[in-house]
Every structure is written in C-alpha cells, then in structure tokens.
A and B are shown apart, each in its own frame.
Chain A
Amino acid sequence: MRRLAFLLAFLAVPPAGASTATRASLAELVRESQWIVLGTTGESTSYWQDGRILTRVSIAVEEVWVGELTDTTVDVVTLGGTIGEIGQRVDGALRFGTGQRVVLCLQRHAGVLRVVEMAQGAFILEEGANPRVFRKGFGMRLVDNSMGPPTARFPESLRDLELAVREIKRAP
C-alpha cells in the first residue's frame, strides 16, 4: 500500500504560482458590488480615451440579484479592445463574446459601469439543464493572501451561486 501511495503522490503535483491582483472571495465581491446581474452580452464598441482603448458592451439583463435596475439593458465598460489596426490588451480585463450569458458583479466608476475586480467579478455560464458557472483569468495573475483565511470555493452551479450571493447580501 505504501508503494501505491507513493505512486499516487505523483498524480497530485501541487499547484504553484498579468495584471496582478489579490484574490477576492465571493463575499468580498458581493460587498464591492452595487449590482449583480445575470444577463446576455450583446453588441460591443471600442473607443479611445486618453490613450487607452476601452470597450463598451451591452448586457441584456435577465435577472437582478443585487441592487435595483429599471433598465433591461446596461452598458458595461472594459479595458482594452481593437480599433482599426491597433489593438490594446490589458491582462485581466474581460473579453466578451456576443451572446454569452454571464453573471456580472458591477459597480459604477467614473460615470460608467465596470465589472468589480475585472476578471474576478464575472461568472461565465456553461449552458445545460443545470447551468454551471466558471471564471477565467483573461491574463490576470491572482495572489493569495497567505495571512488571511482560506478562500472558500465558488459555487459551480448558477442557482447555487445565486443562493450564495443572496445569502451574503442578507447577512448583517
């Protein structure tokens, strides 16, 4: 059995460590959010602003989990994009495909809506009978706070995520 354990140990290579950010828990994301919505991405437009390329993406809102929204469509602005022959990449900034269902943690900043903590605040849906959610780094490097409490795993199903978000929001 010791040999078996020895061999299985080889299967469990421990993980180790572009924009660089400290890892946020779900509770921290919820606390930083003014709105959390489930929606579908629509048209996007990129534009210049003081040397930066920004991309405005319209989101058709299906459900509002946190905050109050009267509009059924909101525009979210992300860093980076392409205008003509010039592209700009900001690691960690979200890049949406059209028609993608997402859960977004949103906050208003400098007059526009942005996703909280860039890639950390977006959950992409994998459609199915029980839709699942996952996150992507889009080039963001996450740094663990070694002194803090362990970060709990994020819910993997859409409805579990909704329940967790609402529970965090209800908590005092």
Chain B
Amino acid sequence: MHRSIFSSGTFALCFAALALTLITTDANAWVCSRVITGTNLETGPSLSWFHRDLTYAFHAAGTGDLAGTNEEAVIGASFATWVGISGCQPPNNSTDITFTPLAARVDRDLVGFDFLDPAANENLIIFRDKDWPHSDRIIALTTTTYSAQTGEIFDGDIEFNSEEFTFADLDGCCPNCNGNTRDDPDPECRFTDLANTAVHEIGHILGLGHPDEWGELDPSCAKGSTMCATAKLGDIDKRSLACDDRDGVVFKYPAATANQYAEQPSCALELEGCGNCTGQTCSDWSGYGFCASPMPLVNDVKITETGSDDGSGCAASPVATTVPLLLLVLCSLLLWRRRSHAPPN
C-alpha cells in the first residue's frame, strides 16, 4: 500500500507552522523614532507630542505644481488620514490627535526651530519650486525638533522638492501610466503623488519610524504599511493607513489618555535583562518611556530591542517570526524526506 507522504503527524506540524506564521505576521511591527543620544545612537526615549491639538501652516509661496491652492486640500486630507482613527488590534482604542491648519499662510521660511522664540515656531509645510537645498533625489524631507531629555516633540516641518519633482493628486489620474515617474517618456506620467508622500512624512512628525530597513523583510510591509522604508514611484497605496500604522499612532496617543510607553521594557517581559538589549539597566529607563508593541504579551510575541541605531524603538521580536518559519522549514524537510523515501509508483 502506498504510504501517504502527508501523515497525520507531519500534517499537524505543518498546520501549526502555518497557523503560527499567519498569527505572528499580524504582530505589530511599528516603531517609534527615538532621541538620538550623545553616541549618535537612537537609544533615548521615543519622540512624542505632549499635547494632541496640533497645528500646521503653509508657507506663503505655495507651489505651481497644483492649480490654485489645491495643495492645501491634499495636505489637509493627508493630515486627516491620521485623525480620528481606531486601531486594528484589541481593544481597538482610538486616538484623539488632531491637526488644524492655521488660517493664514506664513511668510517666514524657517525649517527647524527658533530656540530664541519657541512660541513663534510653526509646523511648516513648504514647497520648494526652486532652490531646493538638499540632494536632488530627495522627494520630501521631514525635520523634527525635540527635547533631548524627554523626547517631547516641539516642531515638525516638511519640505517638498517641487523643483525636481512634479507633485499631483494622482487619485483617479493617468490610467494609462505604468506608474508615474519624473523620467517617464510620456509627459502625462511625470508626476509624483503628493498625498502618498505626505501621509508617510506626517507619520514621522507624529514620532513613528520605519518598521523595516532597506532590503529587510518585514511582514507589515508586505501588507502595505505606510511607514515602511521602500515604495514604488507612482504608488498611491500609502495614502491610506495599514493596520500597523493605525495601531502605532493609537498606541502612542490613545484618546483621553496620556501618551503610552512601554515601561520597564525588557524586565517586565522576562527577557534576558535590559543590559542585553539596550546596554542599560532597568533603572536607567525609569522616568523614561519608549514605544513598544501594544500586543498582549504572550510567550511567542516578545518585545525586544530591534537594533541600536537603526531608527527603531521596540518591535515584535524576531522570535515571533523565526520560530514558525523554522517550523515551516522543518516541515518542508520532513515532507521532502518522506517524498524521497517513498516507494516509486
């Protein structure tokens, strides 16, 4: 009798591996940007606003890329994307962060921070149709000023490179374009979607970082997280938030509740001690907060430091994803072994 290569034991193992994979790829991967310490490493507290009613201002120069002042509507919608949202993970809290545009545009071109007159700082949105001061390939640049002691964000400014790129509202636009690039042979396809860029940059203003690094494989990025470190030009998917983005902002700024941080990040989770993930003792973190996953702390979804200087706060441990992956490898090997030892037909 031909023995099935898919015995009940192997099937159970594979089923468990697949189930674990599906479960753990839902683990949160969002991270918080953190204070850069004296060693130039991101090991300080996470960056957060200490109030929820944020404002922003457009620079008076505007841009010639969009008709009239249409950039205001697109940017306004991009800010609104982060407002009034609920998280995907239980308990499905919401956030009460708000953004309000100032009634009048501002003339002052101040990206950064005026420390002599802190009250005069605005969260500035500025398009640079000429004299872009940064590298040509930069589409947009976010500058965040914060307290190096507490991580409180004082100011966040976004510069758009409208000298090198032509921004547009691509929703419903250009169905015959295979993505839009500034180098496209078709002049009708040489646009960069403004909202796709703006929603991502606003995430940085809120203190969120990238869940991945260049070339890394992060499950949340496979699901289209707006805060991921790579994208396609012409992409408009990042205009809307993925669950990972929503969970991140809701965790940081829960409605009617103080900002959340993971206190005693390592010790409480029975990892191997703070020293192994941060180089600091648990007491060093008292009084500081930094972000961690809002996921329930179960055995296979631990919280750990994701790197010393990679822009990350805390995220789901590699343990959460490597265990099921190893199970899958084992399962595959078992299947292959059984197949290779199976009698010929």
Contacts and interface: CB of A to CB of B under 8 A. Distances in A.
Interface of A: 1, 3-4, 7-8, 10-11, 13-24, 32, 44, 48, 50-53, 79-82, 84-92, 95-97, 110, 114, 116-118, 120, 135-148
A1 B144 contact: no
Interface in B237-271: 238
B47 A89 contact: yes
Contact of B233 (A24, A32, A137, A143): A143
B232 A147 contact: no
A4 B40 contact: no
Contacts of A116: 135
Interface stretch (B72-80, B81-89, B96-104, B108-116): B108-116
Contacts of B35: 87
B302 interface: no
Contacts of A143: 139, 230-233, 235
Contacts of A24: 137
B233 A13 contact: no
Given A51-B110, A116-B135, A17 B231 contact: yes
B146 A7 contact: no
A74 B311 CA distance: 27
B210 A88 contact: no
B141 A87 contact: no
B196 to A, nearest CB: 9
A139 B40 contact: no
A118 B154 CA distance: 24
B1 interface: no
A4 B339 contact: yes
B213 A85 contact: no
A140 B133 CA distance: 17
B12 interface: no
A139 B204 contact: yes
B204 A82 contact: no
Contacts of B309: 95, 97, 136
A19 B231 contact: no
B36 A10 contact: no
A89 B143 contact: yes
B28 interface: no
Contacts of A16: 221-224, 228, 230
Interface in B23-45: 25, 33, 35-36, 38-41
Contacts of A15: 212, 215-218, 221-222, 230
